[in-house]
């Protein structure tokens, strides 16, 4: 399909595979090049070396590696995952780029990115990008310092604002400020929460103590202060979404929404 280009070098996939399976050069045997990227076998080393069926692992499929972005998905050997349906192809029939793009369009955010091994400093940005992709937001905002994506109609981004950062909503050319943060890392957390949260209201059990998080107002807007950091929420609902994750990492937030149904693993009914 026009426009698709495999940009991920094979050696990066090999490095990721070696790290994932804690193997040496033999790990390259797991990797198969495809028109749209790569597959990585998850079989046991004993089976790959001997072919002995008694050492075969069952239930899992290969990792699928997107050749454009490096995003990685785990698969299973269930009939639905393997064969797919008329609307959603299974991983066993990903024979061309067009079929792969149909398969990818129906995926949740991937489990990893192969570039994380060679560029760990950029891992957080790639985590945000794959969640944006899972929401159909493929177009990055290009203004200097901004991080965010849109689907040409709606989008979310963060960018520098005075001495801090602003989290913004975009709708067909119109920007609206949603929240202000003193630190970039917290603005990134708000962006991820917005990208991964399910399409219904909900609040989530904090993984870290909140007893010393100060809650108040600033210019009539809900505000939080903790660990020398500040956040002001300009629209309703954002404080409740952010509060449980004030001390969480992006990986924590990602894990909290990683159930197969796309719903949070931990919930609670009201702020405490």
Distances (CA, A) of 223 to 108, 177, 197, 205, 258: 32, 15, 21, 19, 28
Assigned token pair, 173? 């050319």
Residue 264 has pLDDT above 70, yes or no: no
Residue boundaries of the structural domains of the chain: 10-113, 137-256
Name the band, by pLDDT with cuts 50, 70 and 90, for residue 212. confident
Distances (CA, A) of 219 to 161, 232, 234: 17, 9, 10
Assigned token pair, 145? 């310092």
Q: Quick: pLDDT tens for 130-175.
A: 999 999 999 999 999 999 999 999 999 999 999 999 999 999 999 9
Distance CA 66, CA 52 (A): 30
> Do residues 66 and 46 touch, judged by C-beta distance below 8 A?
no
Name the band, by pLDDT with cuts 50, 70 and 90, for residue 198. low
> Do residues 180 and 221 touch, judged by C-beta distance below 8 A?
no
Indicate the SS3 state at residue 91: helix
Assigned token pair, 109? 């955010």
Write down the pTM of the prediction. Answer: 0.86
Name the band, by pLDDT with cuts 50, 70 and 90, for residue 207. low
* pLDDT the model gives residue 262: 43
Kindly provide the b/e burial profile for residues 5-14, where b requires at least 16 CB atoms within 10 angstroms of the residue's own CB.
Answer: ebebeeebbb
């Amino acid at each position: 399909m026009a426009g698709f280009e495999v940009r991920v070098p094979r050696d990066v996939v090999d490095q990721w595979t070696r790290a994932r399976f804690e193997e040496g050069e033999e790990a390259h045997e797991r990797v198969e090049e495809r028109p749209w990227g790569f597959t990585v076998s998850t079989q046991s080393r004993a089976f790959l070396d001997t072919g002995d069926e008694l050492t075969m692992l069952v239930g899992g499929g290969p990792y699928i590696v997107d050749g454009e972005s490096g995003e990685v998905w785990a698969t299973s050997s269930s009939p639905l995952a393997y064969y797919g349906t008329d609307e959603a192809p299974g991983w066993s029939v990903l024979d061309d780029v067009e079929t792969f793009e149909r398969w990818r369009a129906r995926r949740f955010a991937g489990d990893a990115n192969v570039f994380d091994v060679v560029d760990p400093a950029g891992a957080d940005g790639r985590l945000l990008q794959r969640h944006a992709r899972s929401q159909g937001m493929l177009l990055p905002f290009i203004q200097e310092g901004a991080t965010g994506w849109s689907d040409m109609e709606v989008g979310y981004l963060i960018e520098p604002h005075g001495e801090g950062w602003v989290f913004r909503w975009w709708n067909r050319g119109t920007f609206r400020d949603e929240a202000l943060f003193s630190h970039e890392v917290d603005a990134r957390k708000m962006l991820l929460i917005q990208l991964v949260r399910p399409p219904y209201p909900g609040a989530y059990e904090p993984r870290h103590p909140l007893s010393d998080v100060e809650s108040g107002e600033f210019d009539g807007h809900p505000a939080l202060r903790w660990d020398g950091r500040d956040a002001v929420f300009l629209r309703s609902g954002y404080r409740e979404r952010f509060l449980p994750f004030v001390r969480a990492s992006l990986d924590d937030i990602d894990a909290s929404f990683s159930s197969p149904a796309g719903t949070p693993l931990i919930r609670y009914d009201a702020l405490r």
